[in-house]
Structure 1
Amino acid sequence: MFEYVTHYYKQNSVPFQSLSALSEAEALKIMGELRDNSPMFERFNHPMEYLENRAQTEVWLWNSFIQKGGKPPERFPIYMVLGHSSWLDTRSFEYGHAINSVQIPLSIFSEDDITFTVPDSMVSFSYNKDKPQQYYRPEYHGHIFTLSEAKILFHPEMNDKLEKELPVGTIPYIEAQVWNHQLIRTYFQMD
């Protein structure tokens, strides 16, 4: 059973930020500063395509959560990892990225605060659309999972198992989408 979610963020920056909260010009500026050829930041090498894909994914996440009875307090989530990512914990430094992380107990979240995808939501959304034969998993891709579903379905070994199942360059983890931004910011300030 997972007991926490982890938010990873670049060292010397502020946690719990989202490109979705910015104007297009501001988002493009941030992506320009972050992009490189590492698995973490190569997604920003095509910034307009990334923003379009992110917007489509967030509409899918929102609508899927509403269809499952969720009442998200925000229009876009803050992205985290269920448990932790061994890949991010160890390999980010190979690419010259100093990252920090914040762990928050799952126990602070209600059903309306958080959802999950396997793996990253953009990958899940894309795989469900394109159905690549080697990687498509219909039981996971194109689905969001609620907190109660995640507690039943997911176990800590899954993040490490995903590393063997995903294409090279795809960072393996179960993504958590936190819809209650104030809750995590308040918790972080108390910590």
Structure 2
Amino acid sequence: MMFEIITHYYNDVPFRSLSALSKTEAMEVMEELCDDTPIFERFKEPVQYWENRLEAENWLRNGFKEKGGIPKDKYPFYSVLGTADWIESYATSTGLDVNFLRIPLSLFSKNDVSFTFPDSMVSFWMGRDKPEEYYNAKYHGQIFTLSEVKSMMTTDIMNNLESMIPKGTIPYVEAQIWNHEIAMNFYKNQMSHLKDRNRE
């Protein structure tokens, strides 16, 4: 199943991105969301996070194009390969409101989606600074295509992600959706089917 779907996690509305906002708007959102949970504590230094995010997304976009990808949109929608059990377990244990949308990977072509190991900002940082304890040139600072990730991410690797990344980093393989239309259409169809079932 891990190679058949990607999962997009969200609070109330899916596919919202800081990258769609102006810097001022993004600062306001981060200040509102920031707390001590592992998911939102990254916003404690909003200016630094914003600058790091833009730098990482520029690296992502250029690297994906170099691999032959065709990013239709300026920034990606973020999801994970398969599922992120840590996120779902954490949400259940703390009562955190986390929704998810499981999207068939078969909807995307090699031009529409890229992958990093782990989170793209962490991968970019490790590829740049090469921390001795964790750096692995095979995975970190690398952008993978659809075919590459299917051949590289074995069950053994997926089950041992936590031991291969810096402490405090959520273990998953990130998927970046560069064709927003595909993801949005899938979500709209899912909502339409749900409404139809509720009427029955």
Output the TM-score relative to the length of structure 1: 0.94
Do the aligned partners of 1:38 and 1:95 also contact (CA within 8 Å) in 2? no
| Correspondence for 1:3 | 4
Q: CA deviation at 1:75?
A: 1.3
Do the aligned partners of 1:5 and 1:104 also contact (CA within 8 Å) in 2? yes
Counterparts in 2 of 1:39 and 1:160: CA distance versus 1, 3 Å: farther
Equivalents in 2 of 1:125, 1:167: separation in Å?
A: 13
Equivalents in 2 of 1:157, 1:102: separation in Å?
A: 25
Equivalents in 2 of 1:96, 1:128: separation in Å?
A: 35
Equivalents in 2 of 1:162, 1:70: separation in Å?
A: 26
Letter in 1 for 2:44: N
Output the TM-score relative to the length of structure 2: 0.90
Give percent identity, aligned residues only: 50
Equivalents in 1 of 2:75, 2:37: separation in Å?
A: 25
The 5-angstrom pairing of residues 1-191 of structure 1 reads 2-10=3-11, 13-191=12-190
Deviation string, structure 1 residues 52-84 (Cα, Å, up to 9, x no partner): 000000000011011111111011100000000
Equivalents in 2 of 1:88, 1:158: separation in Å?
A: 18
Equivalents in 1 of 2:97, 2:111: separation in Å?
A: 32
Structure 2: runs of 5+ lacking an equivalent: 191-200
Larger gyration radius, structure 1 or structure 2 = 2
Equivalents in 2 of 1:124, 1:154: separation in Å?
A: 15
Q: CA deviation at 1:164?
A: 2.3
Q: CA deviation at 1:95?
A: 4.7
Q: CA deviation at 1:41?
A: 0.7
Equivalents in 2 of 1:51, 1:23: separation in Å?
A: 10
Of 40-49 and 161-170, more deviation after overlay is shown by 161-170
Deviation string, structure 1 residues 132-181 (Cα, Å, up to 9, x no partner): 11110100111100111112111355343111222321100000000001
Structure 1: runs of 5+ lacking an equivalent: none
Coordinate RMSD, CA, aligned: 1.3
Equivalents in 2 of 1:6, 1:158: separation in Å?
A: 18
Equivalents in 2 of 1:34, 1:95: separation in Å?
A: 16
Do the aligned partners of 1:86 and 1:160 also contact (CA within 8 Å) in 2? no
Counterparts in 2 of 1:157 and 1:89: CA distance versus 1, 3 Å: farther
Equivalents in 2 of 1:134, 1:59: separation in Å?
A: 26
